[in-house]
Amino acid sequence: MSITLGVLSDSYRRQLRRLQDQPVIDVVVEKVAAVARATDIGPIGIDFGVGALPSTDKTYLAELKTKFADLNMVPTVIIGTLGLHADQDFAGPPIEASIRNLEVANYLGSPLGLFYFNYGGRVKREGRIRIAVEQIGRLAEAARQFDMTVTTENYDFFTSDDFLRIFDQVGADNVGLHNDTGNWLILDEDPLTATRKMVDWTHHAHVRDYRIVDGVCSSVPIGMGDVDFPSVLAELKKAADRRDRFVMAMEMDMDVGDAAAEDEAVLECARYMKKWLDAQG
């Protein structure tokens, strides 16, 4: 087992939305490096999407890869968002782009290709499951040439039972979940129960906490919300025991607050997770 603590780039989404000319990845690297220095986390994971890069030219990617090594950063790359749509004009381009982005992720040293879903209209649950199985199967097959695993995240539609069906029907050994510990609450699933249920399929985690207020899952620093983090982390540790590398990337998703508040919230998460990891021995 090797657990690495990390930070998801979207933790700084309020700041990143306001960028002018500076590449997103440059800001994220700067922020994550600051977290590592402040908390003595190292190596530190950095989760980001191919869309955060100003270029996928090999010269640029080589420079970025060197920067990660110099800063003792472990990259995990988001390769895209699949469109679960009946119209191939909408469904086709996203899966093709995600397949292309596998090469970028592999070059940067990410053994995982993380992906998400967009949902087209008029498609019922069974249809979305069927289309997801088809598209994940294509993605998994393409990932084999790089010896990569592709993982998706629980969010606001598919339940843990849906994911078990989908992964079973795909039938590939390089498919799984990156578990968002807070998002289970959106669908009224218990994070501990869902995490335990999905442990065999879990390759990565986005660790975040929510406090439910007036029907909204509001992001709060880890340990301050409605997720039973000590118990959930114990289950994630079991998932990590099955993997050569397992990153727990911290995530914040603030609806209000300035840059300083966003930075401090991520630091609070990092302090919590560092204390937890140190206690594991």
pLDDT of residue 281: 83
Residues 6+ apart with CB under 8 A from 37: none
Q: Which fold has domain 3-279?
A: TIM Barrel (3.20.20)
pLDDT of residue 186: 98
The separation between CA 162 and the C-alpha centre of its own chain, rounded to angstroms, equals: 19
Domain spans of the chain?
3-279
Question: What averages of pLDDT result for each successive group of 10 residues across the chain (281 residues)?
Answer: 94 96 97 99 99 98 99 99 97 99 99 97 96 99 99 99 99 99 99 99 99 98 99 98 98 97 99 98 83
pLDDT of residue 1: 57
Whether pTM > 0.95 for this model: the answer is yes
Alpha helices in the chain (DSSP H): 13-16, 24-39, 58-70, 88-107, 125-143, 160-170, 191-197, 229-240, 259-279
Contact 247, 202 (CB under 8 A): no
Complete DSSP assignment for 43-63? SEEEEEEGGG-S---HHHHHH
∠ at Cα 42 (221, 227), nearest 5°? Answer: 25
Residues facing residue 178 across a β-bridge: 153, 204
